[in-house]
């Protein structure tokens, strides 16, 4: 009787071991499949995200020694789901990256300036920004600040008239120096005629 019980116990152990081994194999195979599926989904998501981006140019400033401070175009990637003009202005207000700053790239737009909203039609665009835009700076700073927005938007919407508002009010002057602003925006000549030596800034 004892021998029979022992044989039965051994057989049960074999069955349990077999089932445990089978479960481990199935679990490992399932885990590998899950990991592979996750990796494939991540790769597809990355490709989809990349395909949903578009390249734009925004304008920052950089000192060119004797040539003075010039506007230079910088590349950015923005979502195709967003308004391209709104995305460009937001990127502009974020300022240069740390890497760009180490290369001497700057911005004359005050920290904290933000886009309130943009209204866009077939032939014009109205950009409403926060009051921080008007703080500090002398004449050259104000002109460069103005040109950063103007050149960026002209690059994005070259055939539309651009109107600039601050906190919902039509912008007429910038800063204590009283830089006059014409609506719709036009390029200003006194700073650019003196300093611009290339076509980098011209629309």
Same domain for 141 and 58: yes
Same domain for 164 and 102: yes
**Ramachandran area for residue 10 (φ above 0: left; ψ -120 to 50: alpha; else beta):** alpha
Same domain for 40 and 60: no
Same domain for 140 and 44: no
Domain housing 128: 54-195
- Report pLDDT digits (tens) over 181-192: 889 998 775 444
Same domain for 109 and 32: no
Number of domains in the chain: 2
- Which pairs count as long-range contacts for 77-82, CB under 8 Å and 24+ apart, including other chains? 77/53, 78/53, 78/54, 79/52, 79/53, 79/54, 80/52, 80/53, 80/54, 81/52
200 domain residue, yes or no? no
**Cα gap 163→67, rounded to integer Å:** 30
Same domain for 179 and 98: yes
Same domain for 130 and 158: yes
**Which parts of 129-179 fold into alpha helices (H)?**
139-156
- Residue in this structure with the two tokens 């989904």, named with its chain if needed: 41
- Residue in this structure with the two tokens 């003075």, named with its chain if needed: 68
What pLDDT is attached to residue 131? 95
127 domain residue, yes or no? yes
Same domain for 133 and 58: yes
- Residues of the chain short of pLDDT 50, as ranges, are 2, 44, 46, 48-49, 190-203
Same domain for 186 and 154: yes
**Cα gap 100→93, rounded to integer Å:** 14
What pLDDT is attached to residue 65? 76
């Amino acid at each position: 009787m004892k021998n029979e019980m022992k044989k039965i116990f051994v057989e049960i152990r074999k069955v349990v071991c077999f089932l445990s081994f089978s479960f481990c194999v199935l679990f490992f195979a399932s885990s590998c499949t899950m990991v592979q599926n996750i990796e494939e989904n991540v790769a597809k998501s990355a490709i989809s995200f990349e395909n949903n981006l578009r390249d734009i140019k925004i304008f920052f400033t950089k000192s060119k020694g004797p040539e003075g401070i010039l506007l230079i175009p910088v590349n950015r990637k923005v979502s195709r789901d967003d308004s391209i003009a709104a995305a460009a202005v937001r990127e502009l207000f974020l300022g240069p990256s740390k890497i760009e700053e180490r290369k001497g790239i700057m911005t004359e737009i005050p920290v904290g300036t933000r886009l309130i909203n943009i209204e866009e039609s077939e032939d014009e665009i109205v950009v409403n920004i926060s009051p921080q835009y008007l703080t500090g700076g002398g004449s050259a700073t104000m002109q460069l600040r103005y040109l950063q927005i103007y050149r960026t938007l002209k690059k994005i919407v070259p055939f539309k008239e651009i109107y600039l508002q601050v906190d919902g009010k039509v912008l007429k002057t910038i800063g204590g120096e009283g830089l006059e602003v014409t609506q719709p925006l036009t390029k200003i000549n006194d700073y650019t005629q003196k300093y611009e030596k290339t076509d980098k800034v011209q629309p």
